[in-house]
Structure 1
């Protein structure tokens, strides 16, 4: 189980929930100190699973390829990815949507592309794989001051839906039932919803893959 961009409150909450459910979690991020803090926090829980960390620049394709090799050697195939790489920059109306801000925000989409490509075969061949990304309710009504942010989130959702179609096509071509699912979680803000996100991702394994593949779930709704 891979958490991409794990050094956040949401990453810690997801790691706790997954480890409590018995998963072997690989938490990935750029900051080794924050990863160490996450691992120490999660390891204090009484759980059947485990957590270890990997430092990686997910925006660099070669680094992600090397990461996949290390994970395969240490843990075997990956059967779950929770993509939490993100961030916010915006404001200033349309004129304030600078290229520098766009390039910063685009990093989350680039990381998603690299991670899903590196582990696509693992997920398609798994008996029960789940990929989830975190998007934004801002896509329901994009604002000029958040145009860069909404554009990147829209691209990320399109990519996640393409992954879902790939899962469905692979299952169909193999004459097998669909076992992998790609899901989009939308939030207005993750602040205060960290535990809800963690629970929602963990709960995906309780649902039939065909029922949740290529779906958008709004976690901001009670």
Structure 2
């Protein structure tokens, strides 16, 4: 298998990570659809060769509409993110927690909207970015670790859904849902390489895996 010729959605792509992933996928021959809420911030992605869509990755209705417009899709990578922390438990404000929640909302919305398309692909891939903080949460990063833990739980549920659908249909597993775990600051180049490599391995090897970045 190869990523060449595949259609991949990067949802919430207007970050440095989104651009790095888009460039790596395009260089490998994939068709990239990059979403964002700012036309100005989407310009660099369009310049890199991505098809751009003004769409909110955290909004299920927006993602459902995009899924309907696109039809066949082989990969979905939600990249809405951010970090808030510090101050021990007393410093874990409700505002900070609310600020972090869009990342989880994007994972939920994109997986629900594109689930059918990924199951229909001969190599559907869904991948999220998490953190090693989930494995060793600290008081000063409790908000962040809690949202990342929820993101991992949802993504693993997507993996179980893929496996169950294949098993119930008496078909080989073709779709995989995986978690990338970053240690510290996200290495965008490492993420880009890891995303492009998702189509180099069989779904049975990838589904429900935690993959360390870097």
**Fold match (TM-score > 0.5):** yes
* Structure 2 residue aligned with 1:102: 97
* Structure 2 residue aligned with 1:28: 35
TM-score, structure 1 length as denominator?
A: 0.89
* Structure 2 residue aligned with 1:117: 112
Unaligned 5+ segments in structure 2 are 1-7
> What is the alpha-carbon root mean square deviation over aligned residues?
1.2
Give how far 1:154 is off.
0.2
- What do residues 156-175 of structure 1 show as CA deviations (whole Å, max 9, x unaligned)? 00000000000101111111
Output the CA distance in 1 between the equivalents of 2:180 and 2:154.
14
- What do residues 132-188 of structure 1 show as CA deviations (whole Å, max 9, x unaligned)? 100001112101111010000000000000000001011111111111111100002
**Which residue, 9, 18, 24 being the options, matches 2:25?**
18
**Which residue, 188, 202, 210 being the options, matches 1:208?**
202
* Structure 2 residue aligned with 1:187: 182
Q: Does 1:82 align with 2:77?
A: yes
Output the CA distance in 1 between the equivalents of 2:18 and 2:184.
15
Q: Is the 8 A contact 1:10 1:190 kept in 2?
A: no
Output the CA distance in 2 between the equivalents of 1:168 and 1:140.
25
1:133-152 matches, cutoff 5 A: 133-152=128-147
Q: Is the 8 A contact 2:101 2:147 kept in 1?
A: yes
TM-score, structure 2 length as denominator?
A: 0.93
- What do residues 76-101 of structure 1 show as CA deviations (whole Å, max 9, x unaligned)? 32110112111011111101111111
Aligned length: 207
* Structure 1 residue aligned with 2:190: 196
Output the CA distance in 2 between the equivalents of 1:112 and 1:39.
23
Unaligned 5+ segments in structure 1 are 44-50
